[in-house]
Structure formats: C-alpha cells, structure tokens
Chain A
Amino acid sequence: MIKNLEQLEQYSKKCTDCLEAKLKGADGKRHVVVCGDTGCLASHSGEIIEKFEKMIEEKKLGDKVTVNRVACFGYCSQGPFVKIYPEETTYRAVRVEDVEEIVESDLIGGKIVDRLLYVDEKTGKKVVKQDDIPYYEKQVHIALHGCGSLNPEKIEEAFGEGAFKGLARALSMDRQAVIDEILKSGLRGRGGGGFPTGRKWQFAYSQPDGAKYVVCNGDEGDPGAFMDRAILEANALTVIEGMMIAGYAIGAQNGYFYIRAEYPIAVARLKLAIKQAEELGLIGDNILGTGFSFRVHIRLGAGAFVCGEETALLNSIQGQRGMPRPRPPFPAVKGLWDSPTIVNNVETLACVPYILREGADKFAENGTERSKGTKVFALGGKVNNVGLVEIPMGTTLRELIFDIGGGVPNGKKFKAIQTGGPSGGCLTENDLDAEIDFDNLVARGSMMGSGGAIVMDEDNCMVDVAKFYMEFICDESCGKCSPCRIGTKRMLETLTKITEGKATMEDLDKLEELAAHIKANSLCALGQTAPNPILSTLKAFKNEYIAHIVDKKCPAHVCKALMHYEIDKETCVGCGLCERQCPVSAISKTDYTAPGHKLPSRVIDSDKCVKCGLCMASCKFKAISKK
C-alpha cells in the first residue's frame, strides 16, 4: 500500500530502476517484446509469442530471456514486430517460421538476423533500431507513450516511466491552479470538436459542490480510427491518472470509462490497471494521504456510433437509448444523473498526466499557435505505411502522407485524404501543404475529428465515398430529430440515384439545399456534420458528380451501373481462362483472331455480365479493363 507521497517516490524509484535494468540490460537478461495488437495478432503474433516461449523453455534460456506481449508498435503494415532489449534490435514482418532463427542466431549466437531488419527504401540500408526507421523520425510519442515497449500487464513498468507523478503534483496544487495549468498548456479535446479542455473543467469546477463526475469517452466509432484502443491497450494507467487529475480539479469523486464493446483487450487491460492501482491504494479513499478520494468504474457501449456524442453517451450510461439531449444545459452543468460532468476523450486524458508532470510549457513546445501538442492519426487506405502516427500539430498533410506514409502504392496518383471520419471531409492536392491543426482543417472544409486519415487514389470514386459515409450516418442516426433522421435518408437516396446514373442536375441543387438545412437544424453534432462528406467532395470534385449525372460515367469506374468490362481484342490471346471463370457465362468466342495469336479473341456480353470482375482478375495478359 502506498499511503503518502514519500512512499510513492520510493515505489517509483524502485520501478524505474527495475525498468531501466530491463531496457538497458543491467539485469543481465534479454527481453523479447512482441506486438500483440489486433493487426499483428491476425498475422499470427500470438503464435509467434507461443513459439518463443516454447523454444526458450526447450533451450533452457528461461533465466536469461523474457517474452512480453506489448501494445501496437504503430507501423501496422510492417507487422508483426519483434524487438529485443537491451540492443533494441527490431525485426519486422516476422513469421512463426522465423522464430527459430531469431532464437538460434540472435538470442543464443548474438548475431542479428539481417534479413528480418527494416530496409530504408531511400538509402537501401538496413535499420537495426526502431527509432531509426524513417516512419518514426517525425513522430513525437506523448499519448502513444509505451506503445511497443512497456508490458501493459505489468503496472510496475508504467510506474517506472513516471505514472502518478502528474497526479502527485496536481494533489500538491490548488484545484484552480491545476485547471490553470491545463488552460496554459492549450490542450484541446482530441475526440472531435477541439474544445479547450481547461475551459470545460472550469465550467464544472465553478458548479456548486456535490456529486460530480468525470467520464472518459472511449466510444471510438469513427470507422478507420483506433488510437484510443491502442492507448488503452498500451498504457491504461495514464488514462486513469488523467481522469483522476480531472476529478481532483473539478471536485469529482467518481469516474466512468465508457468503452466500445468491440474492444475486449482494452477493457481487460483497463480492469487490470484499476485493480492493481486499487491494491496499491492509489484508487480509493484518501489517496496519498491528501484527503482526495476517487473511484473508477467501467461501462461498455453496445454498438451505437451516436454514443460518441457526449450527451448520448451519458444517456447510455444511464441505461437508456443513446439519444442526444438538447444543449444547453451542457454536461458540465447538468450531466450524468443530472450532476455536473465533464466528458473527455481517451487521447485527451492521456495527455493530462504529461502536462502535470512535465509542465504546460513543455507540452506547448509542440504545435501551432492555437493547437498545442501532438495528435495521433490512424493512417490508412491507399498509402504504403499503414498504422498509428503521433505527430506534432503543424505537421503538413504532405509530410503525413508522403514522408511518414510513404506515398500512394502501385504508382497510383494521390486523389484525396479523408479526415475526421463521417463528420469530416476530403482534402485534396491543393491542401497538401496545409499545417494540420484544429482550425486549419475546419477552414478547409474538413475537421480533425478523432484522427482517422484515409488516403484515396485515382481508383476511388468520390461520389461513392460520399455515399459510403451517408450510408453509415443514415444507419447510425438515432432517429430523435427529423432533420437528421429523414434528411440523411433523402441525401442517401439522391446519392444512390447519382451513382446509378438516374439523377438530374436539379437533384444536385436539391442535395446542396438539403445539406444546408440538415447542418443548420439537427439536434447534435452527428446530424450537424452529416452533410460534410457530401459538401467537401462537392467542393473539390463537382466534376465527378457532373460526370455521373450528365455523361452517365463514373470516371474511376467504381459505380457498377455506370461501368462495364471490355476485352481488348488485339491483346486477347484467346486462352479462354476468363470464359471458364465467368459465373454467368457472359463471355464467348469471337470470329476474330488478333495478328500473332493463334486463338480467337473473347468478348463480354454486357447484358449478361454481373460485373463481378473475376475475368479481369484472372486475365494474365491484361487484356480486360474497366470502361
């Protein structure tokens, strides 16, 4: 039990020594860490860990080597990662078959397995340490701290890195001074809106004393974003600490985590961290002998995107349908069970201990004038390096996509980057040199959102993308207010008409008008931002909409009603593979044989064709294309 500040310091010191010994090799052991995140698990990292454990037992290395399952390394497209301390040798794209060689060559023989190292594409050189891989060079890990290094199931490692020092400092300060520190840091909400965190706290602080609550919004619903999950899986204790600092500042005694049910590992780690902190006496009554008491609870979501909206989330905790409440009153005045409540996102709370521990000025060293610190993005889609990226605010989109992301694969042309999820918008070539911050992205017609960043290339149809998001919103609209419930449905119908080539230019005007109404009149942010995917694609890609409507063509050949497959009769060698593959017998022989070929070319009957694309995928001579 840790009963006071002095004991915490002693405990932290012990943990730090222990962790340093582990990472620097002073304990005389070597430590294998393996990524155990969803992406890597699907690439068999679980079996890799088992194989390591088995081999270490067989070779009797048990007293010299440990195996640790850690959270996301962030560079998912190169996973699974295996890192060996103290040398920090980092192997990427490891397969179960490679484990034996790593054990024999590296762990026993002390020789690095060259072929599993990352190769720098520009220089052609092999990179040994994770930090030297170009993907990580421009990154600054504050929220993602601990990803790919700390063992998330050993709370001592988090203490070794300074856990609860932020809370200890906060508890030695006046409550207002804690809020001032957060205000000074310039921290803004990482969940979407970018509201200044300190101001939110100030509102709740100024409410009369009584029951107050801190709620951590871990209902990460933005399709394509998974940073909150990674943070909770890597270092749940930091988020708990952030929540407790917030609790102290506003005068709350209870905190609630609201986590997506789809994140079982995050929930398990969170439960474990809470239990361990309780056992240490750091959650409960009279924490560190300061008189501050705080309890942490977990509630699970049940698959409703709208619960990411703070008032809907509160209703869900209260056992109701997750429908938003009209604001005002804001949750800071009347929130959970009608008491003053602040709702902060996971990433926001993960930044709080850092600010208290290192100081507001240190946090504000990174960033732009009005957006301080760093932001985690989940970079995905048509980009070479897929994964989680934490970059200082003010980094340009070009740096994000091309320097860190490694550009668009297969020599295709960059078309757009979608940020902010279903509430955000698409940014284009013209925006590439824009510095990423809350206000800049909004000014350009998108938003930060929770940090999804999906790259699209020339093969993506922007009308189809808008339709995809509208299907999502339409599905997830809670149905409480009619602009959102009916409006999104009508927008989806119009978009479907456009993608089927049945729309007129008048429909496009109506779509724009409807979008403006929905934006102005919806109850919550879900509805107010619902038209954004349409408005932002209309702004940058109106010509694509017009091509669908007037020319009845989908320029990217995505919309099925507006495209067809064609066999080039000169290239076709007449092998007949496509004919055999076709599930609906739409392909037949012609009576033409191209010069130089022996067999007659094939042709597709577009009346029979169901546009499954099997023929194009099977053709070895690239004779079939989309038109």
Chain B
Amino acid sequence: MARLSEAAVKQIKEICDRYKDENTPLMMILSDVQNEYGYIPLEVQEIVSEKTGIPVAEIYGVVTFYAFFSLKPKGKYVIGCCLGTACYVKGAQLIIDKFSDILGIKPGETTEDGMFTLDALRCIGACSLAPAVSINGRVFPKMTPDSVEKIVKDYRAGVYA
C-alpha cells in the first residue's frame, strides 16, 4: 500500500479540523477529501479515524455506500453519461455503450493510461439537450454515437486541455 506524503497527511488533518465544531461532520469531511484529494483510500480513512475517533470500519462503510466517494483515483477526464429518464428515452444507452466500446472500459472504470473514467450519471438537469454528456463539468448536448468518437479524439488531442 502506498504511503501518504507528509503534505497529504497535513491536508487531510486540516480538512478534519475545519469541521471540529460541527455535530457529526463525517460526510462533510469525506466530501472535502474526495474533492481535494481525489479519492479516499484506506490510509486516508485511517487518518480521519484518528482525528475524529470514528472507527475505520464505520468510515469504510460510509465511503463505500455513497456513489460520490471513491476508493480508487479517477481519470484525468471523468466522462459522465447522463442516464436520467429524459436522456434514456432519447437513446443515452447507445451513447454510453459507444464510449465503453471506444475506451475499452465499463462504466465505473478508468482507462489504463489514467486518461478517462466512464461514469453513468443520474439526471444532470440538461433534459432539453438530451442525450447529454458531462466531462469534467463541460456539458456536451444532443450526443450521437458519431459525436462520441469525435469527443474522445478531441480530448486525446488536447483540444479541451
């Protein structure tokens, strides 16, 4: 298991301190860790446990319950295919299948080069643009299998870097 750098340990302890006056702050701590550190591996959970007195088993239970928390690092670009109802009835399944096909990964997985993570999202509220895809917050409207190919190519070529 990789050891955490001193800076990382300090950062995580700082996050825990932010909420020391709050009642039951575990979710807030984990959200910040996820946002700032990118994922919540076991070593990080141990530090949170030390700081808060909450058993690691309980923290692990919470981390694995919520879709937003991840035990593994995500790719540089997180491709979120909206599979909300409005997108689904307009063919969102074809879009995510196409990404899956091109990248050779299943939803929830990350490509070996660490470039892309493919995620299925529930409604992102862009129903007028269905089917929609959100990549690192940038929304691509009215997707087709053809545009999937172009987007992957563009990201690989650094168009959106």
A76-B127, A613-B94 known; A321 vs B122 contact (CB < 8 Å): no
- Contact segment of A26-34, A202-210, A221-229, A490-498: A221-229
Docked Cα-Cα span, A222 to B89, in Å, equals 15
Tell me which residues from 313 to 328 in chain A have a Cβ below 8 Å from any Cβ of chain B. 316-322
Interface check B66, CB cutoff 8 A? yes
Docked Cα-Cα span, A465 to B88, in Å, equals 9
Docked Cα-Cα span, A352 to B19, in Å, equals 31
Residues of chain A within 8 A (CB-CB) of B24 are 317-319, 337
How many chain A residues touch B (Cβ–Cβ < 8 Å)? 55
Q: Which residue of A lies closest to B120 (CB)?
A: A475
B27 touches A317 (CB 8 A): yes
Q: Which of B24, B27, B58 has the most CB of A within 10 A?
A: B27
Q: Which residue of A lies closest to B91 (CB)?
A: A613
A39-B126, A305-B122 known; A381 vs B145 contact (CB < 8 Å): no
Interface check B136, CB cutoff 8 A? no
A38-B139, A42-B126, A77-B128 known; A223 vs B30 contact (CB < 8 Å): no
Residues of chain B within 8 A (CB-CB) of A38 are 124-126, 139
Residues of chain A within 8 A (CB-CB) of B145 are 612-614
A468 touches B85 (CB 8 A): yes
Residue among B26, B28, B125, B141 making CB contact with A43, cutoff 8 Å: B141
Q: Which residue of B lies closest to A223 (CB)?
A: B84
B129 touches A39 (CB 8 A): yes
Residues of chain B within 8 A (CB-CB) of A378 are 127
Docked Cα-Cα span, A452 to B28, in Å, equals 29
Docked Cα-Cα span, A460 to B87, in Å, equals 12
B122 touches A320 (CB 8 A): no
**Min CB–CB distance B117 → chain A (angstroms):** 14
**Min CB–CB distance B109 → chain A (angstroms):** 16
Interface check B90, CB cutoff 8 A? yes
- Contact segment of A171-179, A239-247, A296-304, A438-446: A296-304
B66 touches A224 (CB 8 A): no
Q: Which of A42, A79, A221, A337 has the most CB of B within 10 A?
A: A42
Interface check B23, CB cutoff 8 A? yes
Residue among A43, A224, A322, A614 making CB contact with B127, cutoff 8 Å: A224
Interface check B69, CB cutoff 8 A? yes
In order of increasing CB-CB distance, the 5 nearest A-B pairs are: A319-B26, A76-B128, A226-B125, A303-B67, A380-B86
Name B's A-contacting residues (CB within 8 A): 23-28, 30-31, 34, 54, 58, 61-62, 65-69, 83-86, 88-90, 94, 121-130, 132, 139-141, 144-145
Give 7 pairs: A residue, B residue, CB < 8 Å, sorted on A. Answer: A39-B126, A77-B128, A224-B84, A301-B66, A337-B23, A380-B86, A421-B85
